[in-house]
Structure 1
Amino acid sequence: MYWVRSIFNHLKTQRKIPPVQKVVNSNSMILNQSYRFISQLDESDKIIQELCKNDAELEKKLRILMLEVEVMRQDGRYAPNSLNTNQWQHLMTLHSRNQRNNYLTYLWKTEKARENQKAKKEARRKEFEESKPEENKEFPDDLLYGLTHQALFLRIRDQSINNFDNYRALQAIKYGQPVVIDCSYEEHMVLRETVNSAKQMTFVFGDNRIHKDPFDIHMCNVNLRGDFMKQLRRNIPSLEEPWFPLNIHTKSYLDIFPKDKLVYLTPHCREELTKFDHDAIYIVGCMVDKVNNEPLSLAKAKRDGIKMAKLPLDRFLEWAPGSKKNLNINHMIPILSDLKISGDWEFALRHIPRRKLMETKILAMQKKIKNNALLKEDIFRNLSLKSKVKGFSLKEKKLRSRKSLYDDDNV
């Protein structure tokens, strides 16, 4: 009840807009704040009309949420300065206050990261403009070469490089080996995981089209009206253009490809993929499973009755304890691409993040021990305590294990 009371008290205070004469006579800062508040009211009214559509209950709920966010801003808590229509719509679907606070904190961090990136970019631009170009002329008639001077080569525009990469992807659609991205796991993910999966899919498309031998990517089981496609359209604005080199299907992969050639890559099965098959059609599940750790891909492959396989990670890598062996799709597709052209597992598995490997954990621990002597003593003390098993030290345990039935003490 406290936060409801504070919202209504805030409503009474914020609705009192100061008169024009007092604003003009006061400082210009108060004038800017009043104009900003009036503009926020106009934007909020537009959002309410767009989302609620003359629904009294929805309008009441949305106004209370807007006041709650404004109270968070005034109290100094984490809340973004502006929210768009999609963010307000998602905020209305969150029932608990803890979920709303977490989502607003995520938006606030994203907003601050963009502001910092913009400020750094502006600082670099000013530094580049203010810095004077170095002129190292041996003779006055010498020509200078560099960014602000003459160049030996013709400049290749970004659009030309983009067209060249798209042409390579179009060739893969006609001649390349197909690979399937299964997009049927959207209902098992929260919004943040769905946004992350769309970001991974964007990386998959970009990495695939610049490869020497790209795949013919097919996105199957796609919900065109879901959050995944909405975010993917934001990441790739030309996604639904007729010339765009990506296959998007609402049908299942069983309706498009022969069943005997399909191989579902899932980390939960027992069979390992020992050799790359150039005639097979590999399926990779597009899912971020930070919340849901159930073997959904294994269950789906069993329901569809198709082959399954997993990458032989334990054969070639020493996995760190506690690290999951579930790889993102932006790691799986480059691994398959390198394996296709080289057949070398050690070369293909270089795309796995180093943080998942035991070597990285050991190097990080060595760095901590080197910089902190007290931590080193604590680690060795803990190891000495763990080495004692059933009241015997490690040395006594070795001596007892060497004894046999023919020792004098045992007779």
Structure 2
Amino acid sequence: MSYNYHDYGHLLEKGTISKQQLRAMVYYLNREIRKGRHVPRHLTPELLEEVIQLPSLNKRRRFLQFYAGKEYKEYRKQNPRSQPVYDKPIIEPWTSTDVLPRYGLFANCIFPRIEERKLYMVLEKLMLPRLPFAQRVAVDFSFDDLMSPREMRKLSVDMKLMFAANRWTTSPVNLHLCSFDPETSFSARLVTNMVAARKLAFPYELSPKPVTELFPRENIVYLSPEGEGVLDNLDEDVIYVIGALVDKTNLPGVSARRARELGVRSMRFPTSACLRWEEKGDERPLHLTHCVQILSKLSSGCPWEEAIRGLDDFLTVEL
């Protein structure tokens, strides 16, 4: 059974519905019937006009499902021994061999199919031999009290992007995640959950101790937008610390105050960053991922002009 547009042509004379609305509804009903969906098989002109005049597509679908249910109950009363009218399509299982002819792939195909997870495992295995000789960067997770739940969720996204960017680059940095409480801190739960979900060993160092207990103070430089000095070049013997902080309220001097508490030097990038739709005076601190990307490029010998290129489509970074 299918609906015919000409059977409802007299509805256009009333002027309540247009020709395009009627054609669209008839097409929708016939398509749902072909797919075996739960729609009525016999609609009177009055009901069809009422369906078309409903304000939203969701209400039309619920209206049609309601009358399809009534129609089905009437049919079952008249034919109690009949088979159900609306049979759900049977989903047949399939294997990878079923799609080989579709894409022209056969047993002697030279194109291997690599899963995305396997590709990440290969990239990490290639990254591991480089880490002992890479630039050391510490991430300070001691700012949980200053962040809202929304900012903490954004921090989890930044951490995933940071790990992904460090995995894909040809010059990765050796990350040290420190200064978190393994029992109460949000950052600690985030790190431990990410480590537990992995099949391979975590390639970076984890420690609840502050960075000053892991490395000598004279070899530590805390990166902050309000740093005392300007970072021109990287030193292989220096450990650069980045605060794991997402600051939507723009609290100034938080990371610089943390550097003074630890008794270490603080430096800033010779850059200014702002969103493309904002004025140049409205500077914003760089995200955790952007800082790691810049340090990775600088450690490979790139100049600052190349290190800040292509960080983000919505961010303008200038020297």
Band the TM-score falls in, shorter-chain normalisation: 0.5 to 0.7
Match of 1:284 among 242, 248, 256: 242
Matched residue type, 1:214: P
Moved over 6 A (4+): none
Higher mean displacement: 215-224 or 163-172: 163-172
Pair 1:220-2:195 in alignment = no
Match of 1:188 in 2: 146
- Distance in 2 between the 1:205 and 1:265 partners? 19
SS of residue matched to 2:266: strand
Match of 1:211 in 2: 169
Matched residue type, 2:176: H
Match of 1:177 in 2: 135
Pair 1:311-2:269 in alignment = yes
Residue 221 of structure 1: how far off its partner (Å): 0.5
**8 Å contact from structure 2 (residues 271, 317) kept in 1:** no
**8 Å contact from structure 1 (residues 189, 292) kept in 2:** no
Match of 1:255 in 2: 213
Match of 2:118 in 1: 160
Residue 339 of structure 1: how far off its partner (Å): 1.2
Q: Residue by residue, what CA displacement relative to the aligned partner does 1:73-110 show, whole Å, maximum 9, x if unpaired?
A: xxxxxxxxxxxxxxxxxxxxxxxxxxxxxxxxxxxxxx
Matched residue type, 2:181: N
SS of residue matched to 2:305: helix
Match of 1:265 among 208, 217, 223: 223
- Distance in 1 between the 2:208 and 2:282 partners? 34
Pair 1:340-2:299 in alignment = yes
Matched residue type, 2:105: H
- Distance in 2 between the 1:334 and 1:358 partners? 13
Pair 1:238-2:194 in alignment = no
Residues 266 and 193 of structure 1, relative CA distance in 2, 3 Å threshold = same
Matched residue type, 2:220: L
Q: Give the TM-score normalised by structure 2.
A: 0.59
Residues 295 and 148 of structure 1, relative CA distance in 2, 3 Å threshold = farther
Match of 2:285 in 1: 326
Residue 235 of structure 1: how far off its partner (Å): 5.5
SS of residue matched to 2:180: coil
SS of residue matched to 2:308: helix
* Structure 1 or 2: more strand by fraction: 2
**8 Å contact from structure 2 (residues 166, 173) kept in 1:** yes
**1:9-408 to 2 correspondence within 5 Å?**
147-150=103-106, 151-225=109-183, 226-232=185-191, 237-238=196-197, 243-314=201-272, 320-357=279-316
SS of residue matched to 2:225: coil
Match of 2:59 in 1: none
Q: Residue by residue, what CA displacement relative to the aligned partner does 1:112-153 show, whole Å, maximum 9, x if unpaired?
A: xxxxxxxxxxxxxxxxxxxxx9xxxxxxxxxx9984535433
Match of 1:17 in 2: none
SS of residue matched to 1:300: helix
Residues 154 and 283 of structure 1, relative CA distance in 2, 3 Å threshold = same
SS of residue matched to 1:342: coil
Residues 338 and 320 of structure 1, relative CA distance in 2, 3 Å threshold = farther
- For structure 1, the 5+ residue unaligned runs are 1-132, 134-143, 360-411
Matched residue type, 2:173: F
* Structure 1 or 2: more helix by fraction: 1
Q: Residue by residue, what CA displacement relative to the aligned partner does 1:159-186 show, whole Å, maximum 9, x if unpaired?
A: 4322222223432443323210011001
